[in-house]
Structure formats: structure tokens, C-alpha cells
Amino acid sequence: QVQLVESGGGLVQAGDTLRLSCTTSGRTFRIYSMGWFRQAPGKEREFVAIISRSTEAYYSDSVKGRFTISRDNGKNTVYLQMNSLKPEDTAVYYCCADLTWGITVRDYRYWGQGTQVTVSS
């Protein structure tokens, strides 16, 4: 079983930056692909970014060039650096993990509880 705990959300203004962190339990962090998804009120949970165990990264078009996903295997932690935030980035951000590589919710078995990001205009 893998447990994920996100942190770093908050209320910011448009154009600001935030860095989300997701720390996992267990000694096998390095073999998992890690992802970030987000869910705005009344909307489906959507893909944001993923990073493979070999640190290959992939982003949704809506965040490409503004967000950066990275991982520190020594700290069992994955990060999401969010720059140039926009009001439409407002959502609950979820961290996820699995042995597979994918951009849909069904690709990941393990999920954190989420952290709220609110961007005011």
C-alpha cells in the first residue's frame, strides 16, 4: 500500500507561484510513475503532469511552459512548481502513483487527499 500526502496549496493572486509537494510512504517510491491531477468545482478530475521513474515528464497543454514536475527519490517526494498562475488553475490538486504510465484517472491506484489551490484575479 502506498500513502500519499500533498502540501503547499493556498490562496494566491494571478501571476504568482506555488510549489506543491507530495510525500509518499514506503521504500519503493523510485519505481513508481507519479502524477498530478486537479479537479475544479463541478468538473471532472483532469490530468496536469506526470513523471516517470526515469524522470521523463509530460504535461497537459493547459499548463505546459508554466508548470514543472520533478521528483526527489531520496526524499520520496514529487513536486509541482506552478508559475504564472491563472484563475482557471483554481482546483483541488491531487497527487497519484502507480507502476504504469498514463494520463487518465484510471491509470493510478494510489491517490492523496488533495490540496486546494485558489488563484484570484
d(CA 25, CA 35): 16
Percent of the chain with pLDDT over 70: 100
Per-residue confidence band for 27, with pLDDT thresholds at 50, 70 and 90: confident
| pLDDT band, residue 1 (cuts 50/70/90) | confident
d(CA 121, CA 49): 24
Work out the mean pLDDT of the chain and round it to a whole number.
95
With contact defined as beta carbons under 8 Å apart, do 37 and 15 qualify? no
Q: Stretch 68-94: mean pLDDT, rounded?
A: 97
Say how far apart CA 10 and CA 23 lie, in whole Å: 18
Sheet holding 4-7, edge to edge: 4-7, 18-24, 77-82, 67-72
Q: Smallest Cα–Cα separation from 95: which of 1, 30, 17, 3?
A: 3
Lowest mean pLDDT among 24-28, 30-34, 99-103: 24-28
